[in-house]
Chain A
Amino acid sequence: MADAINYKGNSPCRPYCGDPALTATPSWGTLRKRPDSRGVVSRFLKGQGMDNSLTTSARWRQGLGAAWPICLGYLPLGIALGVLARQAGIDPLGIGLMSLLVFAGSAQFIAVAMLAAGASVGAIVLATLVVNIRHLLMSSALAVYLRGVGPGFLALFAYGITDESFAVNMTRFRSGDWDRWRALIVNQAANAAWVLSTVAGAFLGELIPAGAFGIDYALIGMFLCLLVFQLRGAFHLFTALVAGALSVACYLAVPGDSYVVVAAVAAASAGFLLQRHKRRGRR
Chain B
Amino acid sequence: MSMAFADYLFLLAAMGAVTYLPRWLPVFLLSRRPLPSWLIDWLDLIPVAVLAALLAPALLADSAPRALNLGKPELLVAVPTLLFALKTRSLGGTVLLGMFLYWLTGIVL
Map CB proximity to B onto A141-178 as digits: 1 under 8 Å, 0 otherwise.
11110111101001101110101001110110010000
Question: Do A263 and B49 contact each other (CB < 8 Å), given the known contacts A121-B14, A149-B31, A154-B31?
Answer: yes
Q: Which of B52-109 contact A (CB under 8 A)?
A: 52-61, 66-68, 74, 77-78, 81-82, 85-86, 88-104, 106
Q: CB distance B54 to A260 under 8 Å?
A: yes
Q: Mark A238-268, 1 if CB is under 8 A from B, else 0.
A: 0111111111100110010001100111011
Contact B51 A221 (CB under 8 A): no
Nearest-Cβ distance from residue B88 to partner chain A, whole angstroms: 8
The verdict on A158 contacting B20 (CB below 8 Å), with A69-B91, A236-B48 known, is: yes
Query: Nearest Cβ distance between residue A6 and chain B, in whole angstroms?
Result: 5
| A interface, over-half SS | helix
Q: 10 other contacts beyond A217-B98, A220-B59, A239-B52, with CB at 8 A cut-off?
A: A88-B1, A132-B23, A140-B43, A167-B47, A211-B106, A214-B101, A218-B95, A220-B98, A225-B90, A248-B60
24 interchain pairs, CB-CB under 8 A: A1-B92, A9-B89, A69-B92, A97-B9, A102-B19, A107-B19, A132-B18, A140-B26, A143-B43, A154-B31, A159-B24, A214-B102, A216-B102, A220-B55, A224-B55, A225-B90, A227-B51, A230-B51, A247-B54, A248-B60, A251-B66, A267-B49, A268-B45, A276-B38
